[in-house]
Structure 1
Amino acid sequence: MAEQLDCLIIGGGPAGLTAAIYLARFHLDILVVDDGKGRAESIPCTHNHAGYPDGISGKELVRLMREQAHRYGARIERDYVTRLDKTNEGFCATWGSGSVKTKTVLLATGVKNRRPPMDEELHDEALAKGLIRYCPICDGYEVTDKNVGVIGSDSRGVAEAVFLRSFTPAVTLIAPDKALSLTPEDQEKLKAAGIHCIDGPAQAVAISDKCIVVDTAEGHFTFDSVYPALGSDTHNQLAEQVGARLNEQGCIGVDTRQRTSVPGLYAAGDVVIGLDQISHAMGEGGVAATTIRNDLAKDRPILR
């Protein structure tokens, strides 16, 4: 593209598409580049996103958001941005089928959950059936009084198991590798909550419509749902390429208006803070878009 965009949005999940809707309605020239591998589209059904009392699948929600962005003139391209460079005029982004110059960039690249050791096809089937779940904030309600396994160790696994204990009395913490690595404080928390602990390694070996079987060092255990508490990997590579500040967890550091440490570069959604909440990501997308519009207006009035 010979022309220079007002904003390139990298990532077409809830944060990126919310920003696209806002920016398109601000009459700005924008492009969304998305690789189609965002987490939101893998959600079978979310019941805590306001406005959908019967729930909505992540795929359908993202489809509707794309349709809304298109309606106001936003362009969306399916590709993976591999390179981002700072220029005197802004940025240059490169992907498989081309490149573009842009005054500003919004990174809405999200994170990727670390999966338990199991066949990818089996994992995706289990996820679709609610046998594997990744967000107890989103769907802890759905496992109320059910038998739940948490695959994790150290404080992360303990925290997730204790959180789920507020939904069901039947919570088991399973080590992903060998023996659980627990501090005395963690052991006390688990004991106080009545959470059973099992040494690993843990591997999902079978699923049905209603249960998932996990193989451990102590035998086979059957659960209604399993939560992998194995952490996630933040898609921060593009931010690193232009020298943006990252925090200790690898998330992109931003101010209260979603500006990064690099002028003209903004970030929103789970790449900023891994809260794993659609509504939160959408809110940050709206804030980022408004900030981008106002920052651009400082250099030249935006007139019709």
Structure 2
Amino acid sequence: MEVDVVVVGAGPAGLAASLNLARAQRTVALLDSNRPRHAATLRSHGFLSRDGISPLELRTMGREEVLSYPTVTYERTIVHSISPVDGGFVTVAKRPGTEAQTEVHSPAVLLATGLTEALPLPSMVRTWYGTSLHSCMDCDGYDKRGEPLALIGETDDLAERALVIRRHTDDLVVFTNGVGTITDDDESRLRDLGVVVDRTPIVALEGDREGMREVVLADGRRSQRTGGFVRPVWHASLGFADLLGLERDDEGLVVVDGAQRTSVPGVYAAGDLTPGFRQLAVAAGEGTIASSVINRDLIAVGR
């Protein structure tokens, strides 16, 4: 198969790009594994006209809109490799559970695969993840306003996150699980705001059908928390793109310029796998920018 653009990933970034490329009368192969990071999330917030929508519903609606254009094809598949060839790139993908293979040639590729995440205390957190506990403070902080909240993480940026969450509650405890780092200066600043830092390891997160209720600590103490936020560690799973030799930052994210171009001509990236804010509207905006830039870059080389 030959198309103008291969788009890898059918989240907000990939769907927005595919929609606008279709409206530029570009042929698009949209390839997606259908394994979104936000699968546990019941409601997404902050997307104009769709505030509170289910992420699954948003993806489904977006996919239906995109596929109403005859120049877009969609395949649920896992991309195994993208290789540079004369005139562009060849993308090889396989359908899950089969040996059926798709090979697509294109002069341009957009990477919009998002991220995978490693949760702190995963066996405990997953029970409440997406309901009582969330990862996006900007998306879900408003809905937790006034509650006794927890921030659970094992990284060195917990103080910064606590300051954002503090906007929504006067009762916040930061749990480092004995791993996360908060400096003495940051702890003093948080204390002045009424935020407690607890470095004791966590042994359980308990609750009932209504949601999380307590954080149980290794020394036997119980902190009543009805919800809060976790700080995952995110990873850009881009092994399939190793042959491209993309420039990555210290966190493994794909480096792009202000027009979503990567360090490899003809390859673009948008959404969570690039440095910046991880929100639906931001990802969709970056996908829209990428589509305009790709179209113009193709025109410039006579495509």
Give 2:97's aligned residue: none
Give 2:160's aligned residue: 159
The residue type paired with residue 283 of structure 1 is G
Give 2:182's aligned residue: 182
Please identify, of 195-204 and 257-266, the stretch whose mean Cα deviation from structure 2 is larger. Answer: 195-204
Which of these residues, 93, 102, 106, is aligned with residue 102 of structure 1?
106
Give 1:24's aligned residue: 22
Matched, 1:148 2:146: no
- Secondary structure of the 1:126 match is coil
The residue type paired with residue 158 of structure 1 is A
Contact 1:199 1:217 in 2 (8 A): no
Measured against aligned partners, the alpha-carbon deviations of 1:54-98 in whole angstroms (never above 9, x if no partner) come to x21111111100000011132111111121111112111122232
Q: Which has the higher helix share?
A: 1
Name the CA shift for 1:262/1:118 in 2 (closer, same or farther; >3 Å): closer
Contact 2:144 2:228 in 1 (8 A): no
Over the matched positions of the two proteins, sequence identity in percent amounts to: 28
Name the CA shift for 1:179/1:114 in 2 (closer, same or farther; >3 Å): closer
Contact 1:118 1:203 in 2 (8 A): no
Give the superposed CA RMSD: 2.0
Matched, 1:112 2:116: yes
| TM-score scaled by length of structure 2 | 0.90
Residue 114 of structure 1, CA deviation: 2.0
Measured against aligned partners, the alpha-carbon deviations of 1:20-76 in whole angstroms (never above 9, x if no partner) come to 1111122211111111112345431123211135x2111111110000001113211
Name the CA shift for 1:205/1:166 in 2 (closer, same or farther; >3 Å): closer
Please identify, of 165-174 and 292-301, the stretch whose mean Cα deviation from structure 2 is larger. Answer: 292-301
The residue type paired with residue 211 of structure 2 is K
Distance 1:185 1:241 in 2: 45
Distance 2:5 2:45 in 1: 32
Residue 274 of structure 1, CA deviation: 4.5
Give 1:67's aligned residue: 64
Name the CA shift for 1:169/1:65 in 2 (closer, same or farther; >3 Å): same
Residue 190 of structure 1, CA deviation: 2.1
Residue 248 of structure 1, CA deviation: 2.1
Give 1:242's aligned residue: 244
Residue segments in structure 1 that go unaligned for 5+ positions in a row = none
Matched, 1:80 2:71: no
Distance 2:199 2:7 in 1: 44
The residue type paired with residue 22 of structure 2 is A
Distance 2:236 2:207 in 1: 29
The residue type paired with residue 82 of structure 1 is H
Superposition map of 1:186-197 within 5 A: 186-197=186-197
Matched, 1:51 2:49: yes
Residue 238 of structure 1, CA deviation: 3.9
Distance 2:39 2:294 in 1: 26
